[in-house]
Amino acid sequence: MSFLSLIGLFVVLKLFVYLALFLTGDTDLELWWYDKFKNNLGSFKDKVVWITGASSGIGEQIALNLSKHGAKLILSARSQDKLYHVKNRCIELSEGKLTANDILVLPMDVTHIAKHLSFFDNVINHFGKLDILVNNAGRSQRAVWEDIELGVDREAFELNVFSTVNLSRIAVKYFNQVGRGQIVITSSIAGIIPAPFSASYNATKHALHGYFGALRREKVHTNIHVTILCPGPVFSNFLKESFTARHGDKYGLTHSPTDNRMSAERCAHLSCVAIANKLKESWMAKFPILPITYLTVYYPVISYKLYELYGYKIAQKLRDNQ
């Protein structure tokens, strides 16, 4: 067999491997490799990790996952009772690695930006340091584009973007002083490819990529790392709490148990692998969301044509992954 034939065979085999992963996997190729061969979760031992939106869903499951590996935690959300429930579960799951003093319950509404610095000072006073800030608080949306009130756009940006940017700027200034640290952002596949009937939400997630993509490039020669997590549809209360077109409304409906969604536990595990290995951006979703994402990012003209052929109704169905 000639050298060129060997190269051709290698390329074909590589394509088959990629195709198999696309059809069976639920992560991008980089995250898949780290999850299978180098998850590095033991590195969380004694790290101090602050999680916003920690009372339910992905944030709660990240906290539970980290507790198993001995990370010291700050749990933040609006509901103090739910946070204490998560704290108790974390202590139990840690199997002696953590005591009550190793988990700080810090109730907060992240949109109260003026209080961020005092909350941050509470974290440093309690633990003496912060290693990782996980910005997980946020809400999705279901609404027709032209019906969305401008107040909803503002509210979505206050919660999903400005609160995250402000708290992260405080953390980065601290990381600059100590010479290391990690900022983690829970974005979405919708932050990569826009989903129909979620315009405000899409915009906030795209904005996060702009803000924190710039931060990553500015800190490229430092020991300050930025990890952006991009989940697809996940089983959580996210849909029920979603914004609508009208200010103050919530979508109110929830997903069906038969929906083709990733579990919050699986999403949290993959998120923790991405954080532990300081990956820059990680995609995670059940088939066929990831192949569509790759197609849209790398072959946008083809994706536009397919959208025109099959219409927004199918896109909406894939968006909710039902």
How many CB atoms lie under 10 A from the CB of residue 12? 10
pLDDT at 319: 56
d(CA 103, CA 101): 6
Q: What is the DSSP string of 179-226?
A: T-EEEEEE--GGGTSPPTT-HHHHHHHHHHHHHHHHHHHHTTTSSEEE
More confident residue, 224 or 21: 224
Q: What is the mean pLDDT of the chain?
A: 91
pLDDT at 91: 98
- Does 24 score more than 90 pLDDT? no
pLDDT at 14: 66
pLDDT at 224: 98
pLDDT at 322: 44
d(CA 16, CA 8): 13
pLDDT at 258: 67
Q: In 3-state terms, what secondary structure has residue 19?
A: helix
Q: From 3.40.109.10, 3.30.70.260, 3.40.50.720, 3.40.50.1360, which CATH number describes the 21-320 domain? A: 3.40.50.720
How many CB atoms lie under 10 A from the CB of residue 214? 11
Task: Give mean pLDDT, residues 240-257.
Answer: 82
- Does 68 score more than 80 pLDDT? yes
Q: In 3-state terms, what secondary structure has residue 131?
A: coil
| Predicted model pTM | 0.92
- Does 321 score more than 60 pLDDT? no
- Does 311 score more than 60 pLDDT? no
Question: What residues are labeled active site?
Answer: 201
Chain CA centroid to CA 67, Å? 18
- Does 54 score more than 70 pLDDT? yes
Q: CA 55 → CA 51, 98, 178, distances in Å? A: 9, 19, 29
More confident residue, 280 or 289: 280
More confident residue, 36 or 22: 36
Cα distance between the two ends of the chain: 48
Q: In 3-state terms, what secondary structure has residue 257?
A: coil
pLDDT at 316: 60
d(CA 210, CA 195): 18
pLDDT tens-digit series, residues 153-168: 999 999 999 999 999 9
